[in-house]
Amino acid sequence: MKWNWELDDWPNFSAPKADISSQERQFLENAGVIIGTAKHLSPGDQETITVSLMSMEALDTSSIEGETLDRESVQSSIQRALGLKASKSSHRPAEAGIAEMMVDLFRSIEAPLTDQKLFHWHETMFQGRSDIALGRYRKSQEPMQIISGPSYAPKVHFEAPPSTAVPREMKTFLKWFNETCPDGPNSLPTIKRAALAHLWFESIHPFEDGNGRLGRAISEKALAQGRTEPVVTSLAGTLLEHQKDYYRELQLTNHDLDVSRWVAWFADRVLEAQQTSLQHIEFLVSKTKLLDRLRGQLNPRQEKVLLRMFAEGPSGFKGGLSAKNYITITGTTTATTTRDLSDLVQKGALRREGERKATRYYLNLDQ
């Protein structure tokens, strides 16, 4: 059976059975809500949410590839790349590289996508690596294959075009991508364009490594270009949650140019990702309101614990905050912990669930 790029009509992808018009409308409505909600934040908090969302995207897109990065180091690297005050934590090349790539991505949203931009992202993302060719398309004569299973009996899931065809294939892809942007002569609906761009790029698989991360970055660029103000969509985090389905849906397109199923699946994931971004922005708004209301009413221990809980994000401490957690964070006594926690509940900062040893505390953001 032929691969998609071997078919006579390549690369004319189509999605005749994917009616995502409602998802496209919802995407634009959600974008307006996200932008409107973010405007309630102070400039400092807007910077915080930008760093937070970029950090999440950098961590999640790396996790999809099986690479676990240090959250604090990624955040600090992004702050430095944005010219903001950053902690003095050490920065490994992996964290610094993906952070710099994410910042450059969102600083150049409106700029055309070019070979040189992709080379720059590739070289930045893999700084410090010497085992692959950086900043250029693959040139090996060996087939570029996605395989699984043991080396003595590998299963080939996909084989990309030969390296000699990559420059020509990328020229066609980049021309299409730039001409289908919102202001382009052949503009396409935002989600459909992002879905096709990701699939097409992965089909070419132009680099020795990093194609998944770059493909998702291209989708983020396409989604951001479809809004009046660019906001991180948190696409990688949603794809990470659906990782098995993500790989399966991509694999199902390997032999066909009718990609209706992929486009419909991708559209639903984009709306999920938008909700994640909105939750983080609403969380920061709630955090600001709560801390403003409690200003001057907390002792240093209570303030430290609340900030530590906020640092965990909307999901908070897994299983809630226990008295033992409080003691570990503050180094205080059991009696003081009991008084502090009771006071935080009375002030409406925390809500209590359970009894005795099963007692847990959660941020009370509904106040």
The span from the CA of 367 to the CA of 363, in Å, is 10
Do 186 and 48 lie in one domain? The reply is: yes
| Residue range of the domain that includes 331 | 298-363
Kindly tell me if the per-residue pLDDT of 313 is higher than 80. no
Residue 146 is given by DSSP the state E
pLDDT at residue number 284: 82
Residues carrying an active site annotation: 205
Burial of 230 (0-12, 13-18, 19+ CB in 10 A): buried
- The DSSP string of 237-296 is HHHHHTHHHHHHHHHTTTT-SB-HHHHHHHHHHHHHHHHHHHHHHHHHHHHHHHHHHTTT
User: Which of 257, 284, 311 is a domain's end point?
Assistant: 284
Do 189 and 316 lie in one domain? The reply is: no
What phi and psi, each to the nearest 5 degrees, are found at residue 221? -60, -45
The span from the CA of 254 to the CA of 6, in Å, is 10
Kindly tell me if the per-residue pLDDT of 39 is higher than 90. no
| Domain tally, the chain | 2
Kindly tell me if the per-residue pLDDT of 88 is higher than 90. no
The span from the CA of 280 to the CA of 277, in Å, is 5
Do 276 and 336 lie in one domain? The reply is: no
Binding residues: 209-216, 246-247, 254
Task: List pLDDT tens digits, range 103-113.
Answer: 999 999 999 99
What phi and psi, each to the nearest 5 degrees, are found at residue 109? -55, -45
Confidence of residue 50 (pLDDT cuts 50, 70, 90): confident
Binding residues for ATP: 209-216, 246-247, 254
Find where tokens 């990688």 sit: 236
Amino acid at 256: D
* Cis check: omega of the bond before 11, within 30 degrees of 0: yes
Q: In the numeric block, which tokens belong to residue 306?
A: 């609340």
Amino acid at 71: R
Do 8 and 105 lie in one domain? The reply is: yes
Kindly tell me if the per-residue pLDDT of 160 is higher than 70. yes
**CATH code (residue 317):** 1.10.10.10
Q: Does some domain include residue 31? A: yes
Note the pTM of the prediction, 2 decimals.
0.88
